[in-house]
Amino acid sequence: MSNYKDEVHLKVQEKIYPPEDIVKRAWIKDYDEVYKRSIEDREGFWAEVAEELHWFRKWDKVLEWNFPYAKWFVGGKTNITYNALDRHIKNGKGDKIAYIYVDEDGNEEKVTYSELLEKVNALANGLKRLGLKKGDRVSIYMPNSIEAVVSMLACARIGVIHSVVFAGFSEGALHMRIDDAKASAVITATYTKRRGRKIPLLPTVEKAIKDLDYIKNVIVWDRDKEGVTDKDDKYVDLNRLIEENKGECSPEEMDSEDPLFILYTSGTTGKPKGVLHTTGGYMVNTYYTAKIVFDLHEDDIYWCTADIGWITGHSYIVYAPLTNGVTSVIMEGVPVYPHPGIWWEYVDKYRVNIFYTAPTAIRMLMRFGDEIPAKYDLSSLRILGSVGEPINPEAWHWYYEHIGRKRCVIVDTWWQTETGSHMITTIPSYPMKPGKAGKPFFTIEAAVVDKNGNELPPNTVGYLVIKNPWPSMLRTCWGNPERYEKYWKEIDNVYNADDLASIDEDGYIMIVGRADDVLSVAGHRIGTMEVESAIVEHPDVVEAAVIGKPDPIKGQKIKAFVVLKVGVEPSDQLKKEIQNTVREILGPIAIPEEIDFVDKLPKTRSGKIMRRVLRAQELGLEVGDLSTLED
Ligand code: WTA
């Protein structure tokens, strides 16, 4: 841990105050007071929030905490799609636009709340007709699109557990996720659009499910009407399924603790864990954090640039914007195609008020120069969000000045797949410190501790932990309760986020980075062991070790150390082949940019690869304790 200390600028102390009009409009103006009250009566606080949503049956008890297992809104019955759709329609807002879909070519498609419900109902009916029922799993491998949102909501409507897999993942990653969840069906599309090209998705699904005989159906969004589903009864055309099953589908009355979805995320082992979220707590927590942190109001236009394949997409493209009843922009494509001003063009065109993105994108767009955003009218913006990795003060200031034009606030939201919703951030009415995420959200008690759980003095780097349960916390890891319990048992019975952080004298928390062997490449979580396992699939490779190296734009890039079979000569050709192997198994985001061929890897006497030794050597840092090194 000591290595990190020197890298960190602990003295970032600059405070920036929010503009008066933003404070005036904010739902909550007195963070400190509300926070204090929320800690004194955590359950009362969340009960009040939950009252804003619709329940078929009210809960008997707000929280049942049976360490480390929590149940929230015990006995309550609800359906998140009812709160996301029907509730607004009943309140006369059916004609309001729910999503504006845009792509790289300027194509646009709008869907109102009523139209969205109609599609969701029809697909939910269709899924039922295919034999799917509450508790079954369906994997979704889709482009960032309205069709993807409809697929997720149709599952949630009838209690089917969705497991969305990011469409940038390849065959191996998809196979593992489908097989672990034992999905009965997969919903996919013929392709996704990226940089003017069509990236095929269906062929990847077909390879991934080759040996999985429990998959009953593959439902395909046949984007160019190629008739791809005609070949076999197993294949079903998504649009036809919707068309043929129109009509009401009453929402399943879900118990608060009924599973809503599984989302796989990388950890320290080679196999990603299936983070399980349930219905009631997730709904309440995502709804309220979006409302307060983004200060969502009735007429807001909101744009989160994430992909539905990540937790940010689940919580803050799909569920929370809908439960809050706002209009969202959803884009299929990359931020620099067809030109590096495309995002600002759309902010201008759709008069976006709240814009939520990742530091890696900001750093990338910064490089194209200040003139690019300067060409657009960005005066509609009020709140700028950041998520996924620490935002360095330089990128923070660029975002603040060139996008926000010093009239906006930045909310730097720290959270995880596991936490389900925002945990640490400043709210819009509160002073910001560039480079520091901010303060714990209401009811959350965060601390920075050592390995034994002792709190560390201000400005000291240690483990970031959460001391209490919260409504949208993960409930378990699918099929692996031991892994779940580890989150709470590793450090003194508090939730260990596996991040390093420090807290300053004012209580602002700065996130330093991951404490475990997880990389953050362009804000995406990638496990070192996952990449290593993919590399050794290459027939010439014996072993591999992977580390992250600092990268000015992506935060980290992947470097691999590879041991070849005896007699195999290292070559550039071989490097390319290894990169291709990783691309095929995991996907482009996991490709090691640098590869070094080595004779052997540093290991502990028990045979574990000591990645920190490689990292220290590579970055010229102190190697630290070597007592466990093999030789
Ligand atoms: C990192 C993404 C610094 C952190 C929502 C965490 C951040 C991991 C921030 C979770 C932030 C997320 N500042 N670091 N504002 N937000 N992280 O599960 O290391 O994809 O543990 O969830 O991203 O990544 P995940």
Where does 69-170 have alpha helices with state H? Answer: 80-81, 87-90, 113-129, 146-158
Supply the pLDDT for residue 489. 97
pLDDT digits over 565-590, tens only?
999 999 999 999 999 999 999 999 99
The least confident of 9-18, 41-50, 466-475 is 9-18
Alpha-carbon gap, residue 324 to 330, rounded angstroms:
16
Residue 1 has pLDDT above 80, yes or no: no
The pLDDT tens digits of the residues spanning 97-142 come to 999 999 999 999 999 999 999 999 999 999 999 999 999 999 999 9
CA distance from start to end of the chain: 23
| Rounded alpha-carbon distances, angstroms, from residue 433 to 29, 274, 344, 412, 545 | 18, 34, 25, 10, 37
The pLDDT-based confidence of 154 (bands split at 50, 70, 90) is very high
Dihedral class, residue 555 (left if φ above 0, else alpha if ψ from -120 to 50, else beta)? left
User: How remote is the CA of residue 425 from the centroid of ligand 1, in Å?
Assistant: 12
What's the 286 CA to ligand 1 centre distance in angstroms? 16
| pLDDT above 70 (res 373) | yes
pLDDT of residue 604: 81
* Token couple for 49: 């929030």
| Closest-lying ligand 1 atom to the alpha carbon of residue 497 | 21
Residue 232 has pLDDT above 50, yes or no: yes
Q: Which CATH architecture has domain 113-255?
A: 3-Layer(aba) Sandwich (3.40)
Using a pLDDT cut of 70, give the percent of the chain over it: 97
Domain 18-80+279-511 fold is Rossmann fold (3.40.50)
- Residue 468, exposed/middle/buried by CB under 10 A (0-12, 13-18, 19+)? middle
119, two tokens: 């599609």
Query: Is residue 406 a contact partner of residue 254, using CB atoms and an 8 Å limit?
Result: no
For residue 609, what pLDDT band results from cuts at 50, 70 and 90?
confident
Smallest CA-to-CA distance from 550 within 623, 622, 620, 619 is with: 619
Q: How would you write 420-461 as a 3-class SS string?
A: CCCCEECCCCCCECCCCCEEECCCCCEEEECCCCCECCCCCC
Is the C-beta atom of 463 inside 6 A of ligand 1? no
Average pLDDT over residues 583-600: 95
Contacts of 208 (CB under 8 A, 6+ apart): 171, 172, 174, 175, 178
Instruction: Say yes or no to pLDDT of 240 above 90.
Output: yes
Determine whether the shortest distance from the Cβ of 388 to ligand 1 is under 6 A.
yes
Q: CB–CB of 157/252 below 8 Å?
A: yes
| Average pLDDT of the chain, as a whole number | 95
The fold of the 522-619 domain, in CATH, is GMP Synthetase; Chain A, domain 3 (3.30.300)
At 28, list the tokens: 């909550």
Rg (CA), the chain: 24
- Whether residue 177 is predicted with pLDDT greater than 90 in this model: the reply is yes
pLDDT band at 631 (very low <50, low <70, confident <90, very high): low
The contacts of residue 394 (CB under 8 Å, 6+ apart) are none
- Tokens coding 36: 């204090």
Find out whether the peptide bond into 68 is cis, omega within 30 degrees of 0.
yes
Q: With cut-offs at 50, 70 and 90, classify the pLDDT of residue 178.
A: very high
Q: Residue 5 pLDDT > 80, yes or no?
A: no
For the chain, the structural domain boundaries read 18-80+279-511, 113-255, 522-619
Q: Which amino acid is at 616?
A: A
d(CA 47, CA 151): 30
Contact 613, 623 (CB under 8 A): yes
Taking the C-alpha atoms of residue 291 and residue 280, their distance in angstroms, rounded to an integer, is 17
Query: Is residue 444 within 8 Å of residue 466, measured between CB atoms?
Result: yes
511 lines ligand 1 (CB under 6 A): yes
SS3 622: coil
Got the DSSP string for 522-591? TTEEEEHHHHHHHHTTSTTEEEEEEEEEEETTTEEEEEEEEEEPTTPPP-HHHHHHHHHHHHHHT-GGG-
Q: What is the pLDDT of residue 459?
A: 93
Say yes or no to pLDDT of 8 above 70.
Answer: no
Residue 12 predicted with pLDDT over 80:
no
Q: Is the Cβ–Cβ distance between 16 and 431 less than 8 Å?
A: yes
C-alpha distance from residue 627 to each of 127, 546, 603 (Å):
57, 21, 11
Dump the DSSP string for 334-366. Answer: -TTSS-TTHHHHHHHHHT-SEEEE-HHHHHHHH
Q: What percent of the chain has pLDDT over 90?
A: 90
Cα of 461 to ligand 1 centre, how many Å? 17
Task: Compute the average pLDDT of residues 523-532.
Answer: 91
- At 370 the three-state DSSP class reads coil
Q: Looking at residues 154-182, what average pLDDT do you find?
A: 97
Statement: residue 65 has pLDDT above 60: yes
**288-312 pLDDT, tens per residue?**
999 999 999 999 999 999 999 999 9
pLDDT at position 9: 45
- Report yes or no: 262 and 163 within 8 Å, Cβ to Cβ: yes
Q: Which two tokens stand for residue 83?
A: 């709160």
pLDDT in tens, 456-504: 999 999 999 999 999 999 999 999 999 999 999 999 999 999 999 999 9
Report the number of secondary-structure helices (H) and strands (E) in the chain.
Answer: 22, 32
Q: Do 18-80+279-511 and 113-255 fold alike per CATH?
A: yes
Taking 60 as the threshold, does the pLDDT of residue 359 lie above it? Answer: yes
Distance 439 CA to ligand 1 centre (A): 15
Indicate the range of 57-66, 77-86, 549-558 predicted with least confidence.
Answer: 549-558
Ligand 1 pocket mutation, candidates 391, 416, 424, criterion most atoms within 8 A of CB: 416
pLDDT of residue 268 exceeding 90: no
Task: Give this prediction's pTM.
Answer: 0.94
> What sign does the dihedral 50-476-150-125 (CA atoms) show?
negative
Distance CA 168, CA 204 (A): 11
Q: What is the pLDDT of residue 452?
A: 95
Q: What is the mean pLDDT of residues 241-250?
A: 98
The residue type at 172: G
Among the residue ranges 193-202, 497-506, 565-574, 605-614, the one predicted with the least confidence is 605-614
In a 3-state reduction of DSSP, which class is residue 369?
A: coil
- For residue 389, the CA-to-ligand 1 centroid distance in Å is 5
Q: How many residues appear in the chain? A: 631
Both tokens of residue 493?
A: 């019975």
Q: Distance from the CA of 358 to the center of ligand 1, in angstroms? A: 10
ipTM of this complex:
1.00
Q: Which atom of ligand 1 is nearest to the CA of 412?
A: 15
Q: Is the pLDDT of residue 220 over 80?
A: yes
Using pLDDT thresholds of 50, 70 and 90, give the confidence band for residue 10.
Answer: very low
Residue 353: per-residue pLDDT: 98
280-291 pLDDT, tens digit per residue, is 999 999 999 999
